[in-house]
Amino acid sequence: MRTSVTSMIIATATVVSTPAFAEDISYTVNDEAFTGYWAEAESPKGLVLIMHDWDGMTDYERERADMLAEMGYNAFALDMFGYKTPTETVDHRRAATGALYEDRERMRSLIKAGVDEALSRSDVSQMVVMGYCFGGAVALEMARSEMADTASGYATFHGGLTTPEGQTWQGDEPPVLVMHGGADSSIKMEDVATLATELEGAGTTYTIEVFSGAPHAFTVFGSDNYQERADVASWESFNRFLAAQLPG
């Protein structure tokens, strides 16, 4: 079932190349070990950075990176947790994400390390950053940071949307695409409205798409929350965003 769904999603976009190769990448940040995943396109039109969900850098991110490489983009799924961080249980995941939410300086340093690793491997530097759930919050953290202009755009799938205290949107950030499930019980529509108000007030270019009946984590293949209709539609929207921000 996963194979057929993935194939259908890929078929919604124009496939212009096949992956040159893909592999796990080990890198270090302040002597800590991290593992990302690199998928390279044959003739890349741009680079996509993938921010993982709260369960860490898994086969899900590898699969999405492969899909992007098949569409003609280099892709790097970075690691925000590191080798020693347990993610097996819900409590582990809450602890891992909570530690980074409480330490935004560390979050940004890990983002920068992943960006640097991706750029060191890519022969194209124009970049879009995407994130899933926790990774969506990480993508927006980068968009609000001094690294914002490193990328041409930011996209979140059922991602965390709250702007932390002490941070603001300035209005000169690259375009932001938010894809949200209308039935998301973890990230409420009130959060979507608050973000829209903040972005509108700042003058940031943004698009928000809400998919009716889609729960939280609606893109996660094989999960109880997976909704094929919303997954396919959001992937198509993301493809259009990539085409606009990474014209090749």
Cβ-proximal residues to 143 (8 Å cutoff; 6+ apart), any chain: 129, 151, 154, 173, 174, 176
Give residue 173's domain range.
Answer: 2-243
Q: Give per-residue pLDDT as tens, 184-193.
A: 999 999 999 9
Is residue 32 included in any domain, yes or no? yes
Task: Tell whether the model's pLDDT for residue 209 goes beyond 80.
Answer: yes
CATH of the domain at 168: 3.40.50.1820
Instruction: Please report the pLDDT score of residue 14 as a whole number.
Output: 42
Q: Is residue 27 part of a domain?
A: yes
In this prediction, residue 9 carries a pLDDT of 52
Is 54's pLDDT higher than 90? yes
Q: How many distinct structural domains can be found in the chain?
A: 1
Mean pLDDT, range 111-133, rounded to an integer: 97
Q: Which residues are CB-contacts of 167 (< 8 A; sequence separation ≥ 6)? A: 104, 144
Q: Is residue 35 part of a domain?
A: yes
**Cα separation of 248 and 243, whole Å?**
8
59-81 CB burial, b ≥16 within 10 A, e <16: ebbbbbbbbbbbbbbbbbbbbbb
Does a structural domain hold residue 53?
Answer: yes
Residue of higher predicted confidence among 13 and 21: 21
pLDDT band at residue 56 using 50, 70 and 90 as cut-offs: very high
| Residue 248 within any structural domain of the chain | no
Does the pLDDT at position 8 exceed 60? no
Residue 248 has a pLDDT of 80
pLDDT digits (tens, 9 = 90+) for 174-184: 999 999 999 99
Sheet holding 206-211, edge to edge: 19-29, 32-41, 74-77, 47-51, 127-132, 153-157, 176-181, 206-211
Q: Does 88 fall in a domain?
A: yes
